[in-house]
């Protein structure tokens, strides 16, 4: 089975095209005003329209109330919603049951206890995305989690790996964790929010080769 590759935080048609051409299976759009990768709902909808059917669009939302999240989903019409804040398992399950989207939940993992705690989302979401603990932002901080925590973990739900992944380390991350999907944002940038086409290509190639 081929690995899933998500390029997150895209803001331009050129970035979308680069990710698709490089072989990404998922592209991520961030709707969170504090992020340097933020796009408005109208911008996100326009970018989503540029994504071919063979690639899945992920809309990232952070700690939005249910009404605002529902509006964002209605405007953008993503394939997947990635909740990346203080959302509860119950809240995620509500959207999983009441929208046509897949629901992912990103969780920060700093130790075995937080990894165990994250399992409360099993059954409530379609995928758990393991990330480094939140810093100034919920994600996109360029920090890697301790991959050894996942090395022999018995997963009870589909999952992916995020947090500090770059073209230089994604291969080793996959070898250590056996991640079925990898997610990068700052790791393929030349500056915060500025995607580097060569880095996108290199990341996708390294992930596939691993």
User: In this predicted model, what pLDDT tens digit does every residue of 103-149 receive, in sequence order?
Assistant: 999 999 999 999 999 999 999 999 999 998 865 555 455 678 899 99
DSSP 125: B
pTM > 0.85: yes
| Structural domains of the chain, with CATH | 4-209 (3.20.20.70)
Per the CB < 8 A criterion, the answer to whether 171 and 146 are in contact is: no
Q: What is the pLDDT of residues 166-201, one digit of tens each?
A: 999 999 999 999 999 999 999 999 999 999 999 999
170: tokens are 């994604």
- Give the total residue count for the chain: 210
The alpha carbon of residue 23 and the mean position of all alpha carbons in its chain are separated, in whole angstroms, by: 16
Q: Is 71 helix (H, G, I), strand (E, B) or coil?
A: helix
Per-residue pLDDT at 136: 57
Q: Which residues are CB-contacts of 77 (< 8 A; sequence separation ≥ 6)? A: 45, 48
């Amino acid at each position: 089975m081929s690995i899933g590759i998500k390029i997150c935080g895209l803001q331009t048609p050129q970035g979308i095209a680069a990710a698709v051409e490089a072989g990404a299976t998922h592209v991520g759009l961030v709707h969170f005003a504090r992020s340097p990768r933020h796009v408005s709902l109208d911008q996100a909808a326009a970018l989503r329209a540029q994504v071919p059917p063979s690639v899945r669009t992920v809309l990232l939302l952070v700690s939005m109330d249910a009404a605002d999240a529902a509006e964002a989903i209605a405007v953008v019409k993503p394939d997947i919603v990635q909740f990346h804040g203080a959302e509860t398992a119950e809240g995620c399950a509500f959207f999983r049951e009441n929208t046509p989207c897949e629901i992912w939940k990103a969780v920060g993992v700093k130790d075995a206890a937080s990894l165990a705690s994250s399992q409360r989302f099993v059954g409530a979401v379609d995928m758990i995305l393991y990330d480094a603990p939140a810093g100034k932002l919920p994600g996109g901080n360029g920090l890697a989690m301790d991959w050894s925590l996942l090395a022999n973990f018995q997963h009870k739900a589909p999952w992916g790996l995020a947090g500090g992944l770059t073209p230089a380390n994604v291969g080793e991350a996959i070898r250590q964790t056996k991640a079925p999907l990898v997610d990068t944002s700052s790791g393929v940038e030349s500056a915060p929010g500025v995607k580097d086409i060569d880095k996108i290509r290199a990341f996708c190639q390294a992930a596939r080769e691993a």
